[in-house]
Structures are given as structure tokens and as C-alpha cells.
Homo-oligomer: A and B are copies of this chain.
């Protein structure tokens, strides 16, 4: 039977200046709708699962457009409720080589998702029959009622036997002056509820406040991740290290830690077309491998390749099927397919 995978998170409107123009140079935008949960669950539908988003959209033409877009991505919108007036937005100016891209947010605090009152979502119903659910540190940064809902839903899925996945995804701009101090207890709560966690050694050091005498990132990772796994009772941890070159190429290497052992993907070096959302593609790969009960080596290689391919398509949301990913993993660069 087809597995059901969900995500809880905000839908945001991406307003991208086409090409490499700045907002001050252009008068055109391209829009789409995404969000960490949207991206992960949409990827899962391309792997053949049923993907459900748990979210809330405004009752206006922007909400209609978002819902239609999500359906077009293959998501079930059964639990995308409608209410409120606003949707979170961000403006994207693409960088080029030595010039970094820029993201400018609209005021997302009054979005339909963020102002939903307690009891808005039927969490018990949603949790029933859910094989896995994805949460993200961006959602955790929103406000107390969103955090409460997030934990309630995680709890409900856990209780009904589903897998809880949490991507730390710490965004300094969202946590204010006392960032790590404010964030730590919420992250710890989510870690305790989670089976699979996406993070790396920086999260362990900064959010969780762990210490190490090691200096190399790789050594820090090897020392700290097992500590996290044990302290918070997390079954599987995974994450990536990224290197950025001046000619629009990135290098990505993934790790997966499980049952006391690390597995690593080969470092992948590739040209980048659209940076946003690639981490969600990696997360989707980890979830898929784990739900399919693959070997760690297979999972981490699939996830890293999914991440790489997500850098080659426009928009935040991964577009590759499982077949595309496996083909890209197995092959050298190919000519046009015809």
C-alpha cells in the first residue's frame, strides 16, 4: 500500500526577480509557492508516496493560487485549511558568482498559518494512518501557538506509530537577540519527539551547546553527533557539509548516523542553478531511504544526489523522481536524452 507522508509548515510565496537582475533594476517577478514542508512532501510524492501538507492559507485570491499550485505539485490539500488574510512572502534576487543572492521577507507574523488559534487542526485525525511526518526549525521559530501545534502533532503521530522527522534548519534572523538561548529548549523538545533528525555539528555546538576540542568540522561531526543521538534518543541523524566555489559550483557531502555508525556519500561537485530548497531535497532522500529501510550507504547516497539535482532545477521545490535520482547517482554526466 502507498505510504502516507505529511509535513506541518507554512506555505510561503516566492517572488523572484527573473534572471540575475536586482529589484531596483527590474519590473517583473516570477511567483511560486513553497516552504520547507511543501518541498519535502512534494519530493515524496515524486517518489510514489501520498504526500499531505498540514497548513493554513488565506481566504483570498492568493490563497486560491497557492492551493492550486500545491495541488499541481502533487500534494493532497485535504489538510490545507483556509482562514485569515495574509500569506508569508519572500523576494529573491539571484546572485551571480562573486555576488551573493539576497532574500527579503515580507511580514510573515500575521500570516494565516502563524495566527491559527489552538484547535484549528484535527491533529488526531491527521495523525491516524500517517507513516511519517516532517517538521522544520523555521516553523519552530514562529511563535508559541505554532510551536505548541507542532509539538502536539508530533506527539500524536508518534503515539500512533508514525515516524517523526525534524530538520533543525536554524535561521538566526528569526530568533532575535537571544537566539540560541531562546531556541534551545524548543529544539530539545523536538529532538526528544523525533526519530530522524537533520542537523550537523554546528547545530550541536550552537543550538544544543555541546562542546568539543576538535577543530576540523569532520572531527567535530564524528564526536558530537553520537552524543546527540544518545542524549535525545534519536534513531537516525543526517546532514551535509557544503563548500562553495567562485564559479557557481558547490561541493556537497552527506553523512548519516544510525545504530552507532556513520555512512558518508561521495563528495559531489556540480554547477548550481537555484540554491533554495536543496536542503529539503536532501531531507526527502533521507526520509525515503529510511521508510524504504535501505542500507545507510544507499540512503545517504540517494539523499545527497537528490540534493544535488535540486540545485539544477528552478524554484524551491525538488522535481526529480526516484528514478531520476538513481540514474544521476549511477551515471556520469550525460548528453541530451532523446
In the complex, A107 Cα to B105 Cα: how many Å? Answer: 13
Q: Identify which of B29, B85, B100 contacts A334 (C-beta below 8 A).
A: B100
Size category of the A interface is: 35 or more
CB atoms of A245 and B24 under 8 A apart: no
CB atoms of B244 and A173 under 8 A apart: no
CB atoms of A335 and B71 under 8 A apart: no
CB atoms of A337 and B103 under 8 A apart: yes
A235: CB under 8 A from chain B?
Answer: no
**Residues on B with beta carbons closer than 8 Å to the beta carbon of A336:** 95, 100-103, 275-276
In the complex, A135 Cα to B294 Cα: how many Å? Answer: 47
Q: Identify which of B24, B61, B74 contacts A65 (C-beta below 8 A).
A: B24
A219: CB under 8 A from chain B?
Answer: no
Nearest B residue to A332 via CB reads B244
A220: CB under 8 A from chain B?
Answer: no
A187: CB under 8 A from chain B?
Answer: no
CB atoms of A333 and B98 under 8 A apart: yes
In the complex, A334 Cα to B276 Cα: how many Å? Answer: 14
Would you give the shortest CB distance from A313 to chain B, in whole angstroms?
7
Looking at A14-22, A124-132, A190-198, the stretch in contact with chain B turns out to be A14-22
In the complex, A290 Cα to B276 Cα: how many Å? Answer: 40
CB atoms of B32 and A27 under 8 A apart: yes
CB atoms of B32 and A273 under 8 A apart: no
Nearest B residue to A273 via CB reads B96
In the complex, A309 Cα to B99 Cα: how many Å? Answer: 7
Q: Identify which of B62, B89, B99, B173 contacts A313 (C-beta below 8 A).
A: B99
**Residues on B with beta carbons closer than 8 Å to the beta carbon of A96:** 271, 273, 312-313
Would you give the shortest CB distance from A17 to chain B, in whole angstroms?
9
**Residues on B with beta carbons closer than 8 Å to the beta carbon of A28:** 28-31
A249: CB under 8 A from chain B?
Answer: yes
A93: CB under 8 A from chain B?
Answer: yes
In the complex, A31 Cα to B26 Cα: how many Å? Answer: 8
In the complex, A324 Cα to B40 Cα: how many Å? Answer: 34
A222: CB under 8 A from chain B?
Answer: no
Q: Mark A267-283, 1 if CB is under 8 A from B, else 0.
A: 01111110110000000
In the complex, A22 Cα to B74 Cα: how many Å? Answer: 15
Would you give the shortest CB distance from A217 to chain B, in whole angstroms?
15
In the complex, A85 Cα to B110 Cα: how many Å? Answer: 14
**Residues on B with beta carbons closer than 8 Å to the beta carbon of A320:** 99
Would you give the shortest CB distance from A28 to chain B, in whole angstroms?
6
Q: What are the nearest 8 A-B pairs in CB distance? A: A72-B72, A103-B338, A97-B271, A99-B312, A23-B65, A96-B312, A101-B336, A29-B29
16 additional contacts (CB under 8 A) given A61-B91, A96-B273: A20-B312, A23-B64, A24-B65, A27-B31, A29-B31, A60-B104, A71-B71, A90-B338, A97-B273, A98-B312, A101-B337, A103-B336, A107-B110, A171-B338, A247-B247, A275-B335
